[in-house]
Structure 1
Amino acid sequence: MGKIQVLDGETINKIAAGEVVERPSSVVKELVENAIDAGASAITVEIQDGGTTLIRITDNGSGMEKEDISMAFLRHSTSKIRTADDLLTIGSLGFRGEALSSIAAVSQVELLTKTPHAMTGCRYRIEGGIEKAMEDIGCPDGTTFIVRQLFYNTPARKKFLKSNMTEAGYINDLMIRLAMSHPEISFKFINNRQTKLNTSGNGKLKDILYHIYGRDVSSNLLPVDRRDMGVHVYGFIGKPLICRGNRSFENYFINGRYIKSPIITQAIEEAYKTFTMVHKFPFAALHFELDTKELDVNVHPTKMEVRISHGQELYQFICETLKNTLCGRELIPEVKPDIKPDIKPDIKPAVKQPILPAVKPAAASAASVPHPEEQPIKKTVVPKKTPEPFETRRIQAEKAIEKPVAKPILQKSAASVPEKKPEISYPEPVKKPVSKVKEYAQYELFETGLLTKEARPKHKLVGQVFDTYWIVEYDGKMFIIDQHAAHEKVLYEKLMKRFKENKPSVQMLQPPMILSLTMTESELLERHMKDFKAMGFEFESFGGKEYALRGIPSDLYGFTGKDMVTELLDTLAGASERMRTDFIADRIATMACKAAVKGNMRISTKEADALIEELLQAENPYTCPHGRPTIISMTKTELEKKFKRIV
């Protein structure tokens, strides 16, 4: 063991800085909290290059006395507490006395400050923990911190930072939470000379939520205000329809401090348990006022964690409050008929795509549709430049399928095939290696050759059972096709093929959908824009945080463009690496699953026949994207054994 010695002050400060200053947002958090503690009513934060080269924070608070400035940058120096007993009744945001010394240890800091009663202000510079200058200067009341070249003397720390845009996104998220935690303070955030956030400071939380999240969220909020058991909770929660795929919409504050608490998080999500879908998280902007003696905020240097002495009672209080709020409100989503984007008839690229089978109403039974052979053959004429309303695309698809086709797809039996019938060419399905899990079922399918051009005219479509499964008789076997799994696989392979070939089929929207994105979501969208376009999305910047969604992937019935984009961005939130192929495949599989015809939905014989035709052209038609079989079979021999016809 080496000889023990006391570390020097510079090393101690850098170690402390490693705990407090993790990234530029950590610097902003500590300095803005000090400005709030100083009684500021207006705070401006300006950064450049994600905060790595410049952070400027200006407030109109009480300022600092000249004789206190040097002492403020020493370790464990603070004006917030005097003794250990004060830790039990902390009412300020900052109190540990480590922020300024830690920041000064890894950056170049310049301080401008003036108290209201002083004639002049003071300018102070400190770099790497070493004082450089102090002089009198004229400046307004309050304090301005200028932090330059963060981690300039600790390059190993700097190289672990993410991109400038990502770091700026962290600061933007922080400023949003600070604005929600103190609606009585006017906050302004400037990133690379562009204003990203500017609140009025009028004390109205709903105005801030409208400014941050836009009209869609603010118009679906439920107020919460209850005082009981020594706890006062107030703020807003969202109706279930504005739930998201991650917890970024869950914000709560204790005594004005933004924190993370498993107890509060679980209580909020438990209250929404029967109101939201699985893996969806609610919107919440809640303020809790608790007795400071019930809290321990001295848990972690970043002050993001607290301990609550009566956690179980608080859990029950939150669950009961939010459930009563949700149960006493009208939560039926309103359909707004005035937003009706039209579909342009042109689809990019100009490649003829087969029409997917659409879902007909439950009343349309298979028996009510005549067989294709019994109808006259007519030619379908497609209008060239007639825009169709967005909500009628399913009806148009149904009409297209109901029209007589130019060639028979399905034969009632092998004997009914005319002798002089023109030969029909069908693509040969590609044989893939058979996995061990599906070895038995797929082996029989390959041996029988159900989905081949030779077998196709000999299929006998018997009918549908349980509004989900279609029975096909062929070559002494009974095949059962799952309509959802089959349609899902057809959609998946189409979308994946277009993505890999970078030839998406785009369904244009008129008028476009306007999306209001946060700074983090905008950064994710810009970073992965190439991949979004390869999937079939068309975006255009609409100014500020708004984007116009002009096109979405075609063939995805029942999906709105906004829902698709939101789900993709929620999944990407927090990811720093580029969108990978496996991620794309997973997302496309999810979209195909949601857009496919569902089980327990009656479709016509024609639609089932068209689905089989599409499935025949799939590269691997035997399993859906999630691995479930699309077709199973039973031989005539096995059926006769079940009925004891043979032993």
Structure 2
Amino acid sequence: MKIVIPEIKILSPEVIKQIAAGEVVENPASILKELLENSIDAGSSVIKVFLEKGGLIKIQVIDNGFGIKSSELPLAFERHATSKISAADDLLHLNSLGFRGEALYSIAAVSKVRIETKQKTEIGAVFTISGEEKGELKKVGCPEGTAVTVSEIFFNIPARQKFLKSVNTELKYCREIFIAEALSHPQIRFELFNENKKLFQLPVSSFKERIVSIFELEEQDLLPVLFNHEYLKITGFLGKPGISRTRKNQQFLIVNSRSVTNKLVFSAVKQGYGSYLPIGSYPVFFLNFEIRADLIDINIHPRKEEVKFAVNDLIFNGVKVAVSKALEKIDLTPAAGVERVFEQSRRLHFSEPSIYEHQREFVTPKMAKQAFEFNEKISDVSLKESDAKNNPVDIEPQKFPWEETEESCNSSTSQLFQLDFVYIIEIKGSELFIYDQHAVHERVLFEKFIHLYLSQQKQGETQALLFPEEVELSSPEREIILKEKDKLQKLGFGLEVEDKKVLIKEIPIVLNSDNLKSRFRDFLDGLISHEEFTIEGDWKIDRKTLRMLTFLSCRSAIKAGDKLEISEMRNLLQQFEITKEKYTCPHGRPVVVRLGRKQLDKLFLRDKKSFKN
């Protein structure tokens, strides 16, 4: 078969135009983003969005901004035509959301556009454009501002229409764009309609008020964030760990009034939360950066969704410090938030929020049962809040706080019970505390091992075994012991490694010698496996060592099913009370839940707010 070698040629203007448009226009949401940014840049105080079929049929954005000169309307649809920058240096000092002059050009290349606009000193004008076909510029009576209507998206590229999603999915994407822009500009009134049904009506407000109104969060669940530097100011709010999510849909970064993403910032937030965050969940945060324009680059993504910083160390450390300090200011001991149980249950069982608004005044027994069952499903991520104040104890390497129980909690006056040999139940006054006995002991041991590791092996920190334990080793086990021998010795292990076995002659003082052989083997299995845990925190120890200490604590702690005497439970809780991070175990699982009279009343519908006759 004869091979035909293609010739190199210049593409036609029409093809070039459609390729360029594809970089900007991906779906209705990308069109909405560009139109909203134009309205914001126009100094609007009111912006209204009207969609048909989630934007698949029509998108209309109306604002009351300063409008466009009628004589410049045709020029606005030319490629790289913009009023926002004029020279390359302007890219280093951007004060607008748009700057490339590609939005209207790209939108018009793949859809039908009608634009009405009026400046304060002019008569209004209307202009239409559809692909390559430009309509006639006409004078028209219209209010001050601009109204852009986009319809029949990809009418001239049928192949692209196949990649559009369902109406609900495209509407979801448009809502996300609308929320991001509305959140970034609380000084503007935003309204969103789909099929003439009002989805959002957001009046001018503070940043916090806008967060609460959009996401239906409780104000007391938001912690203020503040970090000041010569080049950077960070403000905003964090969600308490108790309202963490299973998805990243409530994580927002706003840089100089622009909603963007940045992996470095998101990683710093997660490290700032450390082990406060339940495993498998994502923090809720709304961060606002004010940073010098020449220290960021927004021109790295076709849709301007990402940002690059010139001062990564400042950004990472600033975010981590701001998050850590915000979390240190309050007690995060979990409380059974029954209000949120009913709210989450209602969102699960009612597809439309408006339906519930008419049923909020009374809750049926069936709904109560659903809420109770749903509580069990979400308890590991949502039962974390408290009104009490607490100052975490700073741990120093030379001090051993677990030995100083005189200043510990007044648990001697509380009542203790063990449930199913898994949970410790403590009654203090009118409050009920439920502890996971394994997680509590794991947290205690983890911080003891931290102290031992940082104490540089002072005298008295190991205990010699009268009869050394001999443990048979596999090749991987022998390899891991030899690899980590120095760290194990620093912890207090005295090990003598032979060909296929190891002699355990000394163990850390905090380690119980019962079932030592079994626990040591479990510890080695954990190190050999590549399980990943959430073990970030403020500890000044490398992550690899923290992982080792986490496994050691887990394998050495009492287990579910272990029977405890009252004295053992009391002693364990006294030691737990003076740990530094008492809200989760080293893996990030919850340790304790508080249930007070108020929560019990709500659970049994005894409060007037939840139930009315």
The TM-score bracket by the shorter chain reads: 0.5 to 0.7
Question: Aligned to 1:137, which of 129, 133, 140?
Answer: 140
Partner residue in 2 for 1:563: 378
The within-5 A match list for 1:153-168 is 153-168=156-171
Q: Tell me the equivalent position of 2:530.
A: none
Displacement, 1:24?
A: 0.3
Is 1:105 paired with 2:106? no
Structure 2: which amino acid aligns with 1:55? I
2:320 matched to which residue of 1?
A: 319
Distance 1:150 1:44 in 2: 20
Give the structure-1-normalised TM-score. Answer: 0.55
Q: Does residue 600 of the first structure (1) align with residue 600 of the second (2)?
A: no
Give the distance between the partners of 2:351 and 2:9, measured in 1 at CA. 61
> Is the contact made by 2:260 and 2:306 (CA closer than 8 Å) also made in structure 1?
yes
Partners of 1:566 and 1:327 lie apart in 2 by 19
Matched, 1:329 2:345: no
SS state of the match for residue 560, structure 1? helix
CA distance in 1, matches of 2:25, 2:256: 23
How much identity, in percent, do the aligned residues show? 34
Asked if structure 1 preserves the Cα contact closer than 8 Å seen for 2:233 and 2:290, the reply is yes
1:233-252 alignment runs, 5 A limit: 233-252=234-253
Aligned counterpart, 1:35: 39
* Structure 2 CA distance for partners of 1:293 and 1:600, relative to 1, 3 Å: same
Which residue identity is paired with 1:70? P
Q: Secondary structure at the match of 1:543?
A: helix
Tell me which residue corresponds to 1:184: 187
Consecutive unaligned residues of structure 2, counting only runs of 5 or more, are 383-418, 426-613
Q: CA deviation at 1:175?
A: 1.0
Which digits, 9 at most, give the CA deviation of each residue in 1:601-641, with x for residues without a partner?
Answer: 599xxxxxxxxxxxxxxxxxxxxxxxxxxxxxxxxxxxxxx
Question: 1:33 touches 1:93 (CA, 8 Å); kept in 2?
Answer: yes
Tell me what 2:127 maps to: 124
Query: 1:82 aligns to what?
Result: 86
1:209 lines up with 2:211 in the alignment: yes
Aligned residue type for 2:287: L
String of CA shifts for 1:161-220, please: whole Å, max 9, x gaps.
Answer: 111011001111111111110110111110111111111113x0111112111144x331
Structure 2 residue aligned with 1:543: 354
Task: Give the match's secondary structure for 1:237.
Answer: strand
Q: 1:565 to 1:157 in 2, by over 3 A?
A: farther
Hey, what does 2:404 align to over in structure 1? none
Distance 1:237 1:328 in 2: 12
Q: How does 1:369-388 map to 2 (within 5 A)?
A: none
Aligned-residue CA RMSD in angstroms?
A: 2.9
1:424-464, CA deviations, whole angstroms, 9 ceiling, x for partnerless residues?
xxxxxxxxxxxxxxxxxxxxxxxxxxxxxxxxxxxxxxxxx
**How far, CA to CA, are the matches of 1:125 and 1:565 in structure 2?**
55
Distance 1:213 1:542, change over 3 A: closer
Match of 1:11 in 2: 15
Cα distance in 2 between the residues matched to 1:326 and 1:602: 26
Output aligned runs, 1:335-484, within 5 Å: 335=336
The structure-2 alpha-carbon separation of the partners of 1:55 and 1:516, relative to structure 1 and needing over 3 Å to count, comes to: farther
CA, structure 1 residues 541+93, in 2 after alignment: closer, same or farther (shift >3 Å)? Answer: closer
| 1:533-586 superposed Cα distances (whole Å, 9 cap, x missing partner) | xxxxx547552686989758989987517838999xxxxxxxxxxxxxxxxxxx
Give the aligned partner of residue 202 of structure 2: 199
Bigger Rg over Cα: 1
Count, aligned residues: 381
**C-alpha distance in structure 1 between counterparts of 2:306 and 2:318, whole Å:** 20
SS in 1 for 2:275: coil
Measured in 2, the distance between the counterparts of 1:86 and 1:513 equals 48
The answer to whether the 8 Å contact 1:513/1:562 transfers is no
Contact in 1 for aligned 2:345/2:374 (Cα 8 Å): no
CA distance in 2, matches of 1:143, 1:598: 67
Check conservation: 1:213, 1:516, Cα contact below 8 A.
Answer: no
The residue correspondences of 1:565-644 to structure 2 (distance < 5 A) are: 600=422
Per-residue deviation, 1:271: 0.6
1:600 and 1:104 map into 2 onto residues whose CA distance is 65
Q: 2:594 maps to which residue?
A: none
Q: How far apart are residue 230 of structure 1 and its match?
A: 1.3
SS in 1 for 2:147: strand
Residue 66 of structure 1, CA deviation: 1.3
- Whole-Å separation in 2 of the counterparts to 1:340 and 1:84: 51
- What is aligned with 2:522? none
Local SS of the residue matching 1:248 = coil
The counterpart of 1:23, out of the listed 17, 24, 27, is: 27
**Given the superposition, is the C-alpha separation of residues 172 and 556 from structure 1 closer, same or farther in structure 2, using an over 3 Å criterion?**
closer
Quick check: 1:25–1:170 contact (8 Å CA) kept in 2?
Answer: yes
Choose from 50, 53, 59 the match for 2:54.
Answer: 50
TM-score, length of structure 2 as denominator length: 0.58
Shift of 1:6: 2.1
Kept after mapping to 2: 8 A contact 1:243/1:282: yes
Match of 2:453 in 1: none
Select 1:173's aligned residue among 156, 172, 176. Answer: 176
Contact 2:241 2:381 in 1 (8 A): no
Change (3 A) 1:514 1:248: closer
Query: 1:8 offset after TM fit, Å?
Result: 2.2
Deviation at residue 330 of structure 1 after TM alignment: 2.7
CA separation of 1:274 and 1:117: change in aligned 2, threshold 3 A: same
Q: Deviations over 1:20-68 (max 9, x none)?
A: 0011000000010011111111100110111011100001111000121
Structure 2 partner of 1:220: 221
Per the alignment, in what secondary structure is the counterpart of residue 139 of structure 1? coil
Distance of 2:165 and 2:181 partners within structure 1:
22
SS at 1:232's partner residue? Answer: strand
Letter in 2 for 1:313: L
Distance 1:516 1:96 in 2: 45
